[in-house]
């Protein structure tokens, strides 16, 4: 079995969940990359109002307290030009349109502002927060982009609109962006390639269709930033369709020969990840098995202490049981049972 084939086999223990999230965070928690994304989607008036060089990632204790790491992709803040204070930018990604994304963002905003007031009780005003959702689903974004879109009867009773909170999110729908539009964004080669693979990789036909258009960027990334290129290749190898690794490798190297080294690195990382996860799983299973064996022996010890004989068949059944809950029940029953048969309902 080749290394790539072995990596494919190990994907059974390397679930896809989180692959999109990890790649997006790796690329867009970098202020320079985030500023490029914001520059592509924010209204010009907002861009002109902020100092792009002041953009910084809100992280560490602040991120943990304001928005738990599990819930946030990237939170930034920047100075206004000539005006005291900050504007915050929440950059999220979605692999599918979700009907209640705006409500989810509202929860983020409320938690953010409440925690900020707790930390800065002298505040009299709240800082503005703009949310950008980068969507890389296959069918395009078709979910609401404003809170009022989620609230029923506002059209029939427009008097309610002023009494119900409302705000909008900005959706960067990658499926609507052409290759040339993505390549023309004010971004470095790594975040550009990330946006492309997020958009296309889950459908092999689309990935192959656009591979030639991205050959120069992928080749440049492979030559200039091998670690970033390996990250991209690992994502591709993990997410892309059902083709064998050998087929996928051949198709990519035909167009981008420079990708061979990053691809080999990515395959090696997948193999290592599988080994590490496999070892952890084995240790956990071994610990659980040892616990079950100990409880089974305790059941037999109770019968022995009480002077009750346990036949060979029942002894084997007790020792072979690996279900801890069942063994716990048998332990309790063994204290009063008249024989080992009673454990089995006989």
Phi and psi, residue 210, nearest 5°? -100, 0
Question: What totals of helices (H) and strands (E) does the chain contain, helices first?
Answer: 15, 5
89, 132 contact by CB (below 8 A): yes
Of the candidates 64, 61, 140, 53, the residue with the CA atom closest to the CA atom of residue 95: 140
Q: What is the pLDDT of residue 129?
A: 94
CA 310-311-312 angle, to 5 degrees, is 120
**For residue 7, what pLDDT band results from cuts at 50, 70 and 90?**
very low
Strand ranges of the sheet holding 129-135, from the earlier edge strand across to the other edge: 56-57, 74-79, 86-94, 129-135, 170-173
Q: What is the pLDDT of residue 241?
A: 65
Whether 19 has a pLDDT exceeding 50, the answer reads yes
302, 335 contact by CB (below 8 A): yes
Lowest mean per-residue pLDDT among 55-59, 100-104, 174-178, 254-258: 55-59
Determine what percent of the chain is predicted with pLDDT higher than 90: 53
Which residue would you say has higher pLDDT here, 62 or 290?
290
Which residue would you say has higher pLDDT here, 316 or 289?
316
Cβ contacts of 101 within 8 Å, gap of 6 or more: 92, 94, 133, 143, 144, 169
Lowest mean per-residue pLDDT among 62-76, 111-125, 156-170, 314-328: 62-76
Q: What is the pLDDT of residue 13?
A: 35
Query: Mean pLDDT for the chain?
Result: 84
CA atoms within 13 A on the CB side of 157: 7
**For residue 306, what pLDDT band results from cuts at 50, 70 and 90?**
confident
Model confidence over 173-230: pLDDT tens digits? 999 999 999 999 999 999 999 999 999 998 889 999 999 999 999 999 999 999 999 9
Q: What is the pLDDT of residue 71?
A: 55
Model confidence over 25-44: pLDDT tens digits? 999 999 999 999 999 999 99
Whether 276 has a pLDDT exceeding 60, the answer reads no
How confident is the model over 242-271, as a mean pLDDT? 85
Residue 45 has which token pair? 């008036």
Alpha-helical regions (H) of 42-149: 44-49, 61-66, 101-119
Of the candidates 109, 87, 106, the residue with the CA atom closest to the CA atom of residue 35: 87
Q: What is the pLDDT of residue 6?
A: 43
Which residue would you say has higher pLDDT here, 136 or 138?
136
331, 318 contact by CB (below 8 A): no
Model confidence over 50-66: pLDDT tens digits? 999 999 998 644 444 44
Q: What is the pLDDT of residue 82?
A: 85
* Single pTM value for the model: 0.72
Which residue would you say has higher pLDDT here, 91 or 267?
91
């Amino acid at each position: 079995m080749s290394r790539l084939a072995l990596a494919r086999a190990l994907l059974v223990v390397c679930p896809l969940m989180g692959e999109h999230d990890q790649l997006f965070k790796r690329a867009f928690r970098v202020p320079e990359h985030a500023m490029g994304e914001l520059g592509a989607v924010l209204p010009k008036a907002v861009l002109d109002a902020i100092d792009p060089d002041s953009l910084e990632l809100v992280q560490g204790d602040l991120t943990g307290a304001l928005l738990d790491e599990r819930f946030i992709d990237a939170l930034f803040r920047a100075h206004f030009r000539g005006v005291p204070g900050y504007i915050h930018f929440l950059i999220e990604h979605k692999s599918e349109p979700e009907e209640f994304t705006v409500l989810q963002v509202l929860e983020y905003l409320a938690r953010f502002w409440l925690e900020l007031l707790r930390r800065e009780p002298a505040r009299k005003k709240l800082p503005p927060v703009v949310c950008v959702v980068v969507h890389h689903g296959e069918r395009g974004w078709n979910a609401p982009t404003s809170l009022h879109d989620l609230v029923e009867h506002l059209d029939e009773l427009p008097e309610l609109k002023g009494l119900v909170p409302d705000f909008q999110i900005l959706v960067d729908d990658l499926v609507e962006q052409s290759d040339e539009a993505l390549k023309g964004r004010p971004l470095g080669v790594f975040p550009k390639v990330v946006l492309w693979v997020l958009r296309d990789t889950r459908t092999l036909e689309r990935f192959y269709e656009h591979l030639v258009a991205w050959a120069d960027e992928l080749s440049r990334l492979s030559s200039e930033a091998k670690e970033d290129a390996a990250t991209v290749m690992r994502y591709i190898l993990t997410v892309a369709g059902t083709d064998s690794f050998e087929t996928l490798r051949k198709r990519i190297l035909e167009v981008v020969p420079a990708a061979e080294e990053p691809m080999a690195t990515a395959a090696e990382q997948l193999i290592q990840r599988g080994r590490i996860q496999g070892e952890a799983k084995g240790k956990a299973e071994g610990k659980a098995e040892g616990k079950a064996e100990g409880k089974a022996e305790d059941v037999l010890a109770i019968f022995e202490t009480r002077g009750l004989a346990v036949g060979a068949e029942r002894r084997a059944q007790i020792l072979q049981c690996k279900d801890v809950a069942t063994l716990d029940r048998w332990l309790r029953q063994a204290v009063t049972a008249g024989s080992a048969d009673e454990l089995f309902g006989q």
